[in-house]
């Protein structure tokens, strides 16, 4: 399993501050919900869910060995790290993730019963996205509380940390700010899906994206120069003008084809400028609603003389109205009668 960094957060004190102290047999390592902490002078917060607890328990079981309780997180160093005790089981409760202590060493028993150590602190692994607790490296006895509002203890602030020799291969350590900065870079470059990836994979993807952006920038500069444009804003303005011109031409064509009436002009311009492709599709499929006099035969002259024939203007109107020959004859008769 890959983990991004080590972080240290507090747990509830295993020892009651009374004259009759007893050795704790279990401890609530992480509560469900949001937990506030201060680390390296920086305040932070993380959220722990039942799903996170399941993941931590599964990782613990997969290792097939007890979880060490050390002094002051000495397991994170390369030096000697004597155990203070061992955790043999992790389980969920209504409050959060609990640990069952298998046994304490004599030295730890003395410290605990004398009140010389009163707090414990689990060392947590987070996913590379920093959003989920994925495993527990160890639990330490320490007297450096960092949690807010509850009697708990936190590890000393460490700028770097390493696995103990018996652990899985060493992973890079990232503090909160560095991990957040990388996630911000990945998000800006559209690579947030790589938040949990190996750092080398992240670096390679970031460099490739930067190279691609630089190549696009060179192409853009060449395009602007060839088109005598000073900037992207000028190019955008020109493109808008061209688009408006194409829309107006499409509307004129629709008028010429008899697909539009004058009352539809404003609607047609808005439609074409908003979505030219859709307007063209509509125009191609729309029926002709304005008759075309090219498809209409000119009316023959009446038999009773030219004085009752249509004038050129009247003939055009009759054609636009789509009058049949019997209708035209009736109008010519009426015209002759009126005279």
Confidence of residue 143 (pLDDT cuts 50, 70, 90): confident
Q: Over the stretch 207-233, which tens digit does the pLDDT of each residue have?
A: 998 999 899 888 888 888 887 778 888
Confidence of residue 250 (pLDDT cuts 50, 70, 90): very high
Domain extent, residue 300, equals 293-338
Q: Does residue 274 sit in the same domain as residue 142?
A: no
Q: Does residue 265 sit in the same domain as residue 328?
A: no
Q: Does residue 165 sit in the same domain as residue 210?
A: no
Cα dihedral 188/194/199/203 (nearest 10) = -50
DSSP string of 36-73, one letter each residue: EEEETTEEEEEEE-HHHHHHHHHHHHHHTSPEEEEETT
Whether 179 is covered by a domain: the verdict is: no
Whether the pLDDT of residue 10 is over 60: the answer is: no
Whether 15 is covered by a domain: the verdict is: yes
Lowest mean pLDDT among 33-42, 97-106, 224-233, 256-265: 33-42
State the pLDDT at residue 90. Answer: 96
Whether the pLDDT of residue 205 is over 80: the answer is: yes
State the pLDDT at residue 100. Answer: 94
Q: Does residue 94 sit in the same domain as residue 238?
A: no
Whether 254 is covered by a domain: the verdict is: yes
Whether the pLDDT of residue 97 is over 90: the answer is: yes
Name the nearest CA neighbour of 2 among 203, 169, 179: 169
Whether the pLDDT of residue 277 is over 90: the answer is: yes
Residue 82: alpha-carbon gap to chain centroid? 45
User: Which residues have a Cβ under 8 Å from the Cβ of 231 and sit 6 or more positions away?
Assistant: 224
Whether the pLDDT of residue 6 is over 60: the answer is: no
339: tokens are 């005279």
State the pLDDT at residue 121. Answer: 83
Q: Does residue 49 sit in the same domain as residue 158?
A: yes
Q: Does residue 213 sit in the same domain as residue 260?
A: no
Q: Does residue 77 sit in the same domain as residue 129?
A: yes
pLDDT, mean over the chain? 76
> With a threshold of 0.85, does the pTM exceed it?
no
State the pLDDT at residue 217. Answer: 86
Confidence of residue 170 (pLDDT cuts 50, 70, 90): very low
The counts of H helices and E strands in the chain are 9, 11
Share of the chain above pLDDT 70, in %: 74
Q: Does residue 255 sit in the same domain as residue 320?
A: no
Domains identified in the chain, total number: 4
Q: Does residue 238 sit in the same domain as residue 209?
A: no
State the pLDDT at residue 294. Answer: 54
70: tokens are 């050390």
Whether 331 is covered by a domain: the verdict is: yes
Q: Does residue 202 sit in the same domain as residue 297?
A: no
**219 SS3 class:** helix
Q: Does residue 124 sit in the same domain as residue 12?
A: yes
Whether the pLDDT of residue 79 is over 60: the answer is: yes
The alpha helices in 73-192, defined as continuous H runs, are 106-113, 176-188
**199 SS3 class:** helix
Q: What whole-number distance in Å separates Cα of residue 45 and Cα of residue 39?
A: 10
Whether 137 is covered by a domain: the verdict is: yes
Whether 103 is covered by a domain: the verdict is: yes
Confidence of residue 88 (pLDDT cuts 50, 70, 90): very high
**Residue 310 DSSP one-character state:** P
State the pLDDT at residue 284. Answer: 92
Q: What is the mean pLDDT of residues 111-130?
A: 83
State the pLDDT at residue 222. Answer: 87
Q: What whole-number distance in Å separates Cα of residue 324 and Cα of residue 332?
A: 12
Please provide the size of the chain in residues: 339
State the pLDDT at residue 20. Answer: 63
Burial group, residue 76, by CB count within 10 angstroms (0-12, 13-18, 19+) = buried
State the pLDDT at residue 335. Answer: 63
Whether 68 is covered by a domain: the verdict is: yes
Phi, psi of 152 (to 5 degrees): -150, 175
Lowest mean pLDDT among 55-69, 138-152, 252-266: 138-152
State the pLDDT at residue 171. Answer: 40
Burial group, residue 319, by CB count within 10 angstroms (0-12, 13-18, 19+) = buried
Of residues 8 and 182, more confidently modeled: 182
Whether 124 is covered by a domain: the verdict is: yes
Q: What is the mean pLDDT of residues 40-59?
A: 86
Name the nearest CA neighbour of 142 among 169, 159, 160, 122: 122
State the pLDDT at residue 293. Answer: 53
Q: Does residue 212 sit in the same domain as residue 237?
A: no
199-226 vs 232-256: helix crossing angle, rounded to 10:
70
Q: Which helix (H) or strand (E) holds 125?
A: strand 119-126
When computed from its CA atoms, the radius of gyration of the chain, rounded to whole angstroms, is: 41
């Amino acid at each position: 399993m890959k983990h991004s960094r080590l972080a240290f957060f507090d747990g509830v004190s295993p020892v009651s501050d009374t004259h009759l102290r007893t050795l704790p047999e279990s401890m609530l390592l992480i509560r469900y919900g949001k937990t506030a902490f201060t680390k390296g002078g920086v305040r932070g917060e993380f959220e722990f869910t039942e799903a996170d607890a399941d993941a931590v328990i599964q990782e613990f079981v997969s290792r097939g060995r007890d979880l060490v309780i050390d002094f002051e997180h000495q397991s994170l160093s390369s030096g000697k790290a004597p155990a203070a005790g061992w955790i043999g089981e992790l389980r969920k409760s209504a409050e959060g993730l609990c640990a069952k202590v298998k046994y304490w060493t004599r030295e730890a028993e003395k410290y605990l019963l004398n009140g010389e150590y009163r707090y414990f602190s689990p060392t947590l692994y987070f996913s590379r996205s920093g959003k989920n607790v994925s495993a527990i490296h160890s639990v330490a006895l320490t007297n450096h509380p960092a949690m807010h509002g509850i009697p708990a203890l936190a590890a000393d602030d460490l700028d770097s940390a390493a696995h103990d020799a018996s652990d899985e291969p060493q992973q890079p350590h990232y503090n909160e700010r560095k991990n957040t900065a990388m996630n911000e870079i990945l998000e800006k470059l559209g690579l947030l899906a790589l938040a949990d990836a190996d750092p080398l994979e992240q670096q390679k993807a970031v460099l490739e994206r930067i190279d691609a952006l630089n190549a696009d920038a060179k192409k853009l500069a060449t395009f602007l120069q060839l088109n005598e444009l000073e900037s992207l804003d000028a190019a955008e303005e020109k493109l808008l003008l061209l688009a408006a011109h194409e829309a107006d031409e499409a509307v004129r064509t629709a008028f010429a084809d008899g697909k539009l009436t004058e009352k539809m002009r404003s609607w047609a311009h808005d439609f074409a400028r908003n979505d030219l492709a859709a307007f063209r599709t509509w125009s191609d499929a729309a029926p002709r609603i304005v008759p075309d006099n090219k498809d209409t035969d000119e009316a023959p002259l009446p038999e009773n003389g030219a004085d009752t024939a249509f004038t050129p203007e009247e003939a055009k109107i009759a054609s636009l109205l789509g009058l049949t020959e019997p209708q035209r004859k009736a109008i010519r008769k009426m015209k002759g009668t009126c005279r």
